[in-house]
Amino acid sequence: MMKDWYDFLVIGSGIAGLSYSLIVAEKGPVAIITKKQESESNTNYAQGGIASVMSPVDSFEDHLNDTLSAGAGLCHQDVAEKIIKSGPSAIDRLIEIGVNFTRMEADQFSLGREGGHSHKRVLHAADLTGREIERALLAACHAHPNITIFANRIAVDLISHRYQGEITCGGAFIFNPRNRRKHQIKSAITMIAAGGAGQLYRHTTNPRIATGDGIAMAYRAGAKVANLEFMQFHPTTLSLVGKKTFLISEAVRGEGGVLCHSDGTQFMEKYHAMKDLAPRDVVARAIDTELKRSGKDSVYLDLRKMPADKIKTRFPNIYIHCLEAGIDITGDLVPVVPAAHYICGGVMTDVCGRSNVKRLYVCGESACTGMHGANRLASNSLLEAVVTAEFAAGRSIEEFEASNPPPLPSIEFPHSGDGNLPRERVIMSYNRRELKRLMWDCVGIVRSKYRLEEAVDRIELIRQSVQRYYESHSLSYTGIELRNMASLAGLIIKAAMIRTESRGLHFIVDYPDTDDVNWKKETILERKENRL
């Protein structure tokens, strides 16, 4: 049964939220709120693995240099260095929790290599690494007496107020769409670990729940957000008409797969010295350029030089999924296109997940710690999530023990729509489709000033329509999500308009060069109006 007070409230059940919960639960009761089933998260969809220095031929310095190179000048070197150096100990803790990484021998991990990495350093569990990590963390959370997971609930807004001149978070408003009950959970410490925002785009590798809720809620509560223009598009997702998007892990290219056209002609050597193992922003733009040049619907991945047994052993899930779709990746070319994958920006935090809102922590893909800069290095996301969650847990416990939470004023649930109005779901469906198409066409892999200006006007019309529906109708899961999507889409467009240069994942044809003099810095957005 859901109570009115928990010492720690966690919104999201991916690697960041679960890792954090296991630590802070030693100090007090924890409530984890998750939108759908508890295992439905971006973590669960991560195929490639988690990057960490585990080989004697590798080094922290090399991993750091690879991260900084991919980040195109915007990584916070001190943050990246702290996270990278904490990698091996974080891996040890995951193993202690029960994560089974693939090994070549009992004392030797099977390490993969992905784009932008100078060494093999990606630990994996076959090609379902995220699912294995999620399984182990969920089992540990279920076994902990101080942790309660509330599935199929959605956070509507944060409970925020001013206390001694500072914006302070005191929990969140929760909605259960199954019984339509509204609930206020008050807490001493609130952690947002709600994942990414791939669903803002027409084509994405993300699950349907990845609608940017955490970032949008934090922004409404007064949190600063940064670098939202840097949306990473994964270069290779299976492209078949009528089929759901399916990620083809970058590790496939790390094991020898190459990009080519239908006639087998390879093209990545034209774009980067690392060819098929170039950073993701380079590969995605290269594919986009080749598609526009050829007029085709896809390029292809060629695995035919790899031994069939190796493919089936290293990538069993990808092999089976493609085979079910009529493609034998051991002998057929695999049609692929880029798709929205990971947002490198988010709520602005330090390496310990602290935002500018007191008692509000943010970790994982919802956060912008400075680790990823303008382009995330492959498989650094799970590393950042687990390490910063542990740092955040330590800081949260210190803050929790140092002082009592400030008194909360009486706050009404922030929604009073008319439950008697007929539900015009067609309007919501239309707005969602239009938003996703707008973001894909105008704020995608390659952008232009004209398309961004068009996007500003069109997203405002969508936002106004969504807000009217949200305020006038009874609360719904769809309405909450779409409100967040429209809000975050507007912020992404605004950030892309502000950055008048091309850097990392943000490429705009009107400003094709990188401008270190004026733009080697974050794009920071902060809500000006004060609703507190």
Residue 359 has which token pair?
A: 């008692």
Report the DSSP beta bridge partners of residue 111.
Answer: 123
**Cβ–Cβ < 8 Å for 67, 52:** no
Contact 279, 152 (CB under 8 A): no
Q: Which of 113, 253, 280, 447 is catalytic?
A: 280
Long-range (24+ apart) CB contacts under 8 A made by 158-165 are 158/190, 158/217, 158/218, 158/220, 158/221, 158/357, 158/360, 159/184, 159/186, 159/408, 159/411, 160/221, 160/222, 160/357, 160/360, 160/532, 161/408, 161/409, 161/411, 161/532, 162/532, 163/358, 163/406, 164/406
Distances in whole angstroms, Cα of residue 282 to Cα of each of 275, 379, 478, 497, 510 = 10, 16, 35, 21, 18
DSSP sequence for 84-107: HHTHHHHHHHHHHHT----EEETT
Distance CA 291, CA 237 (A): 14
- The DSSP secondary structure of 95-142, one letter per residue, reads HHHT----EEETTEE-EE--TT-SS--EE-STT-HHHHHHHHHHHHHH
- Cα separation, 384 vs 352, in Å, equals 11
H/E stretch holding 231: strand 231-238
Task: Answer yes or no: 280 catalytic.
Answer: yes
3-state class (DSSP) for residue 202: coil
Cα–Cα distance for residue pair 283/260, rounded to 1 Å? 12
Cα–Cα distance for residue pair 85/83, rounded to 1 Å = 6
Residue 302 host element (H or E): strand 299-302
Rounded Cα–Cα distance for residues 301 and 258 (Å): 6
496 closest CA partner among 354, 344, 277 = 344
DSSP one-letter string for 383-395 = HHHHHHHHHHHHH
Whether 495 and 504 have beta carbons less than 8 Å apart is answered as: no
Tokens, residue 164: 């001694």
Instruction: Report d(CA 74, CA 503) in Å as an integer.
Output: 9
d(CA 21, CA 26): 9
Euclidean distance between the first and final Cα of the chain, in Å? 30
Residues 6+ apart with CB under 8 A from 76: 369, 370, 371, 373
Catalytic annotation, residues: 280
